[in-house]
Amino acid sequence: MQTDNRFFDDLARAAGGAMGALNGMKSEVETLFQQRMERAMADMNLVTREEFEIVQAMASKAREENEALEARLSELEAKK
C-alpha cells in the first residue's frame, strides 16, 4: 500500500534501513560474543568429553580392581 504522503514513505524507508542496520549489528555482536566465549573456554584448559569418559572408565576399572584386591586380602587374612 503506497501513500501519497512523502513523509510517511521517507519514514518507512528510514525505519527499514534502521532495521537492516540493527540486524547487521546483532549478527556482529553474536559473532564477537561467540569468539570471546571460545577464547575464554580455551584459556580454561578444559578437557573434552571423550577424555573425561576415558578417565571415568579408568577410574571405574581401578575401583573394581581395588574392591577385588580388598576381598582377596580379607580372604587371605581370614585363612591365617
* Residue 52 and residue 74 in one domain: yes
For 29-69, write each residue's pLDDT tens digit. Answer: 999 999 999 999 888 888 889 999 999 999 999 999 999 99
* Residue 34 and residue 13 in one domain: yes
* Residue 23 and residue 13 in one domain: yes
9 neighbors 3 (Cβ within 8 angstroms): yes
Determine what percent of the chain falls in helix, strand and coil, rounding each to the nearest 5.
85, 0, 15
pTM: 0.47
Phi, psi (deg, nearest 5) at residue 54: -65, -45
* Residue 8 and residue 31 in one domain: yes
* Residue 53 and residue 80 in one domain: yes
* Residue 3 and residue 39 in one domain: yes
Domain residue limits at 30: 1-45
| 1: pLDDT strictly greater than 80 | no
pLDDT confidence of 2, banded at 50, 70, 90? low
Query: What is the domain count for the chain?
Result: 2
DSSP of 38-66: HHHHHHTTPPPHHHHHHHHHHHHHHHHHH
* Residue 52 and residue 71 in one domain: yes
